[in-house]
Structure 1
Amino acid sequence: MMNILKTIRPMASQFRTSTTTLPAITRSFSASPSRPYEFIEASEPKPGVAQITLSRPKALNALSTPLITELNDALLAFDKSPNTSAIILTGSQKAFAAGADIKEMSTLTFSEAYTTSFIESWSSLTTLIKKPIIAAVSGHALGGGCELALMCDILYCTSSANFGQPEIKLGTIPGAGGSQRLTRAIGKARAMDLILTGKSFSGTQAGEWGVAAKVFGSYEDLMEGALGTAETIAGYSKVAVMGAKEVVNKSQDLGIRDGVEYERRVFHGIFGSEDQKIGMKAFAEKKKAEWTHK
């Protein structure tokens, strides 16, 4: 298997090589244990599955521009790799990401933030990454951390996870999609209550409100669950998986009529793939499909 980690390089040359290892639950599948990043760790725990772990432990994985630069670099590399079908994004047991790096943004002026499109790149994973991303959230996911988790395609969490958009306490508002994605997930009334008060909500509530697809009792169970789902996805045709992600995401942008028409066009397009023929033939013959991903 090609070692994708050799192709991943930080976009900022000043970053140091990280020697921090992943938790034992995320066994490295790569031949090389090298970690060429400072603020994240990248691995391939299973065939077809990539994992990116946020790694700023002293700052509870607070999001900064250098961290996001590394995250986007790794995501793009895995997205382009023929060996990757699904990506897990996680943090530590204590914190997925406890917010944005306030020191970085506290002195920004309006003109600086506006002319540099500050934090626009934080949403790149929603527009550039075609393969599914599973957020595995344990501990704090506040502010930008909550927004980052909401950007992912599937969100799993522990029951004790701590979500929230507390920006109001700092004299500002969510800036990476929190007011939009959280409102779509839980409705205007709950979102308004949380954003205007800065109150947090638990992983258990995230499951009850539809923010999380699954809630787990422990960090170990969370990581095993995320890995299991990623392995399941990796066992299907990449063409179909990417098409399915595309049409579900489009449902957030279109009305039902336009959305159904969009879905139908993608559905028709997949009839041009080899995997559609392989999958339906295998089903008819009661055999296991051997995907070509073409």
Structure 2
Amino acid sequence: MSIKSSSVPGSDELVLSGTPSEGVLVLTLNRPSKANSLSKEAVVRLCECLRAAAADSAVRCVVLTGSVRIFSAGADISGMAEHGVDWYLDGERLDRWREIQDFPKPIIAAVNGPAIGGGCELVLLCDIVVAGEEASFSQGEITVGVIPGDGGTQRLPRAVGKSLALQMILTGERISAQRAYEAGLVSEVVPTARTVARAVEIAALIASRPPLSVQLAKRAALAAYALPLAEGLAFERDRVVDVFETEDRAEGMRAFLEKRPPRYVGK
């Protein structure tokens, strides 16, 4: 699949964007000389793209990818080595990670090659993960004397379970795409050449659904990680009430009864 990409204005090509299908935005990490490492500048630029996507009603789903060789090598070790813990504690940097976490529309990670350290943590922030056969995942921070600090110690156990998560965190060793699939980190493993195309196919299907319902469903599902069951069920119920107030809900039910395709407008 060919995606016409362009740099986001002001991005210095740290992130490329493309629109291969209606409602779908593909964002590509683009620091090839640094193995797509996540410098503060790269994370800031990624957030600029996501902020624009959140405000653009034409964008209904985002695909995030790297290159065939590597998804992302993680944090910028040179910056961390030079500035120490101040690099990690930089308020703007931490705010941008929270902004990715709170992005309201679905994000699908299309992973070819390694997702290491912060790269794996970035994958963990995505809602659906499609991996190429040659992809791998690791929390390698321990190998340079630190620990995961952008969510790895919290999200990875939720994704793959305590035993495998601690093995990955404490050894720094990689797991294969197939092992990640078996553990629940990845939803599909596909031939490397099909990774982005398959992610776009899923994104296009999501983009065809009522966008407000999609966003509310994402909020409800993610609440399961933060709330006890009783509170989560109440949160879900409130989101159902929200859905019933939308025009698209009425349109979807009308179309079903009239046996015709629905026409969703995002209201």
TM-score band, normalised by the shorter chain?
Answer: over 0.9
Matches of 1:268 and 1:125, distance apart in 2? 26
- Give the alignment of 1:111-126 within 5 angstroms: 113-114=88-89, 116=91, 118-126=93-101
**Given the superposition, is the C-alpha separation of residues 49 and 137 from structure 1 closer, same or farther in structure 2, using an over 3 Å criterion?**
same
**Deviations for 1:170-199, whole angstroms, at most 9, x for unmatched residues?**
111001101111100111111111111111
- Give the secondary structure class of the aligned counterpart of 1:62: coil
Tell me, yes or no, if the aligned pair for 2:25 and 2:63 is still in contact at 8 Å: yes
Report Cα offsets for 1:56-95 as digits up to 9, x if no partner.
0111101100100100000110111011100000000011
**Letter paired with 1:27:** I
What is the Cα deviation at residue 256 of structure 1? 1.3
CA offsets, 1:41-68, max 9 Å, x none?
0121211110100000111101100100
Q: Which residue of 2 aligns with 1:222?
A: 195
Corresponding residue number in structure 2 for 1:67 = 42
Structure 1 unaligned segments of length 5 or more: list them.
1-24
Structure-2 change in CA distance of 1:26 and 1:148 (3 Å): farther
User: Does 2:225 correspond to 1:249?
Assistant: no
**1:116 Cα deviation (Å)?**
3.7
> C-alpha distance in 1, partners of 2:137/2:87?
29
For residue 211 of structure 1, the aligned residue among 161, 171, 185 is: 185
Report if the CA contact (8 A) 2:7-2:15 is conserved.
Answer: no
Counterpart in the other structure of 2:155: 181
Check whether the contact 1:54–1:92 (CA below 8 A) recurs between aligned residues.
Answer: yes
Larger RCO, structures 1/2 (Cα 8 Å, 6+ apart): 2
TM-score w.r.t. structure 2 length? 0.94
RMSD of aligned Cα (Å): 1.6
Q: Alpha-carbon deviation of 1:26?
A: 3.9
Secondary structure, aligned partner of 1:279: helix
- SS of the counterpart of 2:222? helix
Distance (whole Å) between structure 1 residues aligned to residue 215 and residue 53 of structure 2: 14
d(CA) in 1 for partners of 2:254 and 2:153? 45
Within the alignment, does 1:27 sit opposite 2:3 as a pair?
Answer: yes
Q: Which residue of 1 aligns with 2:137?
A: 163
* Matched AA of 1:232: L
Which residue of 241, 246, 266 maps to 1:268? 241
Structure 2 counterpart of 1:84, from 59, 71, 75: 59
C-alpha displacement at 1:35, in angstroms?
4.6
CA-CA distance at 1:269 after TM superposition: 1.6
Please say if 1:42 is aligned against 2:17. yes
How far off is 1:259 after superposition? 0.6
What runs of 5+ residues in structure 2 fail to find an aligned partner? none
The 1:103–1:290 alpha-carbon spacing in structure 2 relative to 1, beyond 3 Å, is: same
Question: Normalised by the size of structure 1, how large is the TM-score?
Answer: 0.86
SS at match of 1:107: helix
Judged with a 3 Å threshold, the aligned counterparts in structure 2 of structure 1 residues 115 and 48 are, in CA distance, closer, same or farther, namely closer
Q: Output one character per residue of 1:88-132: Cα deviation in whole Å (capped at 9) or x when no partner.
A: 0000001110121100111224456446475442232112x1110
Q: Percent identity between the aligned chains?
A: 36
Alignment check: 8 A CA contact 1:150 1:182 kept:
yes
The alpha-carbon distance between structure 1 residues 97 and 109, as it changes in their structure 2 partners (threshold 3 A), is closer
Q: 1:234 to 1:247 in 2, by over 3 A?
A: same
What is the distance in 1 between the residues matched to 2:74 and 2:86? 23
Query: Of residues 101, 106, 113 in structure 1, which corresponds to 2:81?
Result: 106
Deviations 1:132-176 (A, max 9, x none): 000000001000000001100111111221110011111110011
- Judged with a 3 Å threshold, the aligned counterparts in structure 2 of structure 1 residues 182 and 27 are, in CA distance, closer, same or farther, namely same
Q: Which amino acid aligns with 2:252?
A: G
Q: Does the aligned pair in 2 maintain the 1:237–1:293 contact within 8 Å?
A: yes
In 1, distance between residues paired with 2:243 and 2:76?
43
Q: Is the 8 A contact 2:38 2:118 kept in 1?
A: yes
Residue aligned with 2:24, SS: strand
Secondary structure of the residue aligned to 2:264 is: coil
Query: Contact 1:63–1:101 at 8 Å: present in 2 too?
Result: yes
Instruction: Specify which structure has the higher proportion of helix.
Output: 2
Query: Do the aligned residues in 2 keep the contact of 1:87 with 1:131 (CA within 8 Å)?
Result: yes
